[in-house]
Each structure stands twice: as C-alpha cells, then as structure tokens.
Amino acid sequence: MGRIVVSEFVTLDGVIEDPGGSEKSPYGGWAFKFDRGEEGDKFKYEELMSADALLLGRQTYEGFAAAWPKMNTDPFGERMNGLPKYVVSSTLADASWNNSTILRGDPVQEVTRLKEEAGQILVAGSGRLVSTLHAAGLIDEYRLMVFPIVVGGGKSLFDGVGMPVSLRLAEAATAADTLLLRYVRS
C-alpha cells in the first residue's frame, strides 16, 4: 500500500494560495520574499527524491507543466520531469507533460486505486484536491514549509474541511527564515 504525502508552502495564517505569484492573486508571491536556506532546499530535494509519483489537481498541474519542462538541467528538474504524474481533472483535455496521466473518475476512488498501486505519492499545492483527500482520510503525511508572513486572506490549507484528523508531529526544524514541519496521521 502506498502513502500519500502532501507538501505545501504555507503562511503563518494557513494560506497556501499562490506562493510564487504566478496566479496573480492579490495575496500571491509571498514565498520568494524569504530565504529557506540550504536546509530548506535539502528538505524539498529529499522530499522529491523519495517520491514514486506526483499527484496534482488541474490548476497546479497546468502551472507545473508550463514551467518544469524548461527546468531540466539539474537533478531536481530531471526528477520532476521524469516522475509519473497523475492529474485529477474532469475538464483537462490533454496532459502533455512527460509521463502524465489524467484521472477523470471519482477523485476518492481514483486516488484510492492509485494508492494501492504506487509507492510514495507526493501531492504539491492542489488545495481543492488536498481537501477532498483529507475528508476521505487518504493523506498519510503533511510536509509544511511555513513562511513568516501573515497575508490576511486567500485559500487556506484546510478550507472546507469539516472532518477533524489527529496528527502527530514527526519532525520540526528551522531553515533560514522558514519552519519545516512533518505531521503524520496518529
């Protein structure tokens, strides 16, 4: 049985929306205002290298598919482009990014099936998908890089989640300006 690991950049007030600013939201671009240092880079590198597949929502997939194929000159970019990628979408017409598959059925059923077949599945961004997976009890671990900013609005990591889930802190560390947290289901 595989594991689903959710990876998010998050503000102190829980916002995950548009950390890089590419979505042009009023709250976007906050992640690049801070240094995550070598420790933060190592955290992200190890996270990606331990993944067997990526699972993304449509919006995150489209953003990644537009950017990552151009960044194939280092081990991180090579891994991002080489991993099997699964995108949950009922509207995406084509998944042309290397090794991509569209999951069109019921998200919970499709991801449950994928979890039975794959090893470690990394979910980046994809807020709406994360909420769906959280409500279905499918997430095994949250990896959060917390940035020292309060943006006061935007999509939260747990928007629309009405089901409490107890988590256990597995790791906490600082990385330059950020805080690295790993929580697992207890």
Residue ranges and CATH numbers for the domains of the chain are 3-185 (3.40.430.10)
Q: What is the pLDDT of residues 51-85, one digit of tens each?
A: 999 999 999 999 999 999 999 889 999 999 999 99
Provide mean pLDDT across the span 29-52.
94
pLDDT at 162: 72
Provide mean pLDDT across the span 30-38.
93
Provide mean pLDDT across the span 12-39.
90
Please state, in angstroms and rounded to a whole number, the distance separating the CA atoms of residues 164 and 173: 25
Please state, in angstroms and rounded to a whole number, the distance separating the CA atoms of residues 32 and 19: 8
Nearest to 167, CA basis, from 134, 136, 145: 134
How high does pLDDT run on average in the chain? 93
Please state, in angstroms and rounded to a whole number, the distance separating the CA atoms of residues 12 and 79: 30
Q: What is the pLDDT of residues 134-163, one digit of tens each?
A: 989 999 999 999 999 999 988 988 877 776
Backbone angles phi, psi at 32, to 5 degrees: -85, 5
Nearest to 40, CA basis, from 142, 122, 145, 141: 145
Is pLDDT above 80 for 164? no
pLDDT at 22: 81
Of 20-29, 56-65, 91-100, 172-181, which gets the smallest average pLDDT? Answer: 20-29
pLDDT at 114: 95
Which alpha helices (H) appear in 16-146, and where do they start and end? 37-49, 58-67, 75-82, 107-117, 127-135
pLDDT greater at residue 1 or residue 43:
43
DSSP state of 25: -
- Please return the burial class of 11, using the count of CB atoms within 10 Å of its CB with bins 0-12, 13-18 and 19+: buried
pLDDT band at 8 (very low <50, low <70, confident <90, very high): very high
Please state, in angstroms and rounded to a whole number, the distance separating the CA atoms of residues 28 and 169: 28
| Tokens coding 4 | 């689903």
